[in-house]
Structure 1
């Protein structure tokens, strides 16, 4: 009986270890790569102590936990690599757990916003994929709890009217200078 239980436990364990690609795995695999620039931003990037916030802005800020950015910059020597990487990200985002919210542009030039969650009021993650073949692409993961699409719009508004901790953005500034 013990051998049977051990066998069943092993089968369940192996079955539950799904090797399906995910955005989280993609970030982990490429964070240390010299081809990418990775930036993790904490919620404290937005300094609101000198700004009066509306209730909806407060709710948006409270739902936001962190942001992960992974950027791939193209040049004349790595266009094939760009094609491979953007194709991989798009394949991951075709998974049923990612629901497309909006898309702008066409082909590899443009942006799309996806979300992960069970409805419009309980979103745990927003994903923005933006790219232009000549420049590269960026994948931005906005993580939080009980977010909704309005929160993202309010966060953008907050970024414009609050102080931003520029120290957390230094790696991206290096990318822009290249």
Structure 2
């Protein structure tokens, strides 16, 4: 009887494990790849010690947990790899989990913003920006109960804060190449 119970529980656990591809799995898979640059940013990138924050900026900062950036640099000798990778990212973002907020540009050049959650209770914003000659970047902004206003307030806060650019060094190196 005990063996039967173990088999049933194991079967349920294995069956309930989701094996479909996700954006998070894509990040994990490519973090160590030489074709990608990966940067994780903590809220500490925004140094607010010398800045007086408005109530809206405080709320925005409190809703922000972290930001993950994954950038693919196009190699002019291997455009097929760019096409493969951007197609995979776009297919992941077609999942019903992601709702498109806005899109600019067309074809191979442009950007799109997606979100996960409800309008006033967003758990994740995703920005996909691409230019075939340069590559693409996927930015995941993770938080709790974010809303579009919080993102705008965060951008404002980034401009006026004393940013800790040390965390961005890997991206700066990518841009030099």
2:107 aligns to what?
107
Which one is further off, 141-150 or 3-12?
3-12
1:155 correspondence with 2:154: yes
The answer for the alignment partner of 1:81 in structure 2 is 81
- What is aligned with 2:126? 127
1:175 and 1:153 mapped to 2: Cα distance?
A: 26
Residue 68 of structure 2 corresponds to which residue in structure 1? 68
SS at match of 2:110: strand
Question: TM-score of the superposition, structure 2-length normalised?
Answer: 0.96
Structure 2 counterpart of 1:40: 40
Q: Residue 159 of structure 1: SS of its match in structure 2?
A: helix
Q: Does the residue aligned with 2:18 lie in a helix, a strand or coil?
A: coil
Q: TM-score by structure 1 length?
A: 0.96
**Separation in 1 of the partners of 2:72 and 2:10?**
40
Which residue is 1:56 aligned to?
56
Q: List alignment gaps of at least 5 residues for structure 1.
A: none
Aligned residues: 177
1:50-96 CA distance string (max 9 Å, x none): 11111111100110011110000112112100000000001111111
Aligned-partner Cα distance in 2 for 1:24–1:8 = 29
SS for the counterpart of 2:40 is strand
What is the RMSD computed on CA atoms of the aligned residues? 1.0
2:135 corresponding residue in structure 1: 136
Runs of 4+ in structure 1 over 4 Å off: none
1:7-33 deviation line (CA, Å, top 9, x unaligned): 321221111111110111101100000
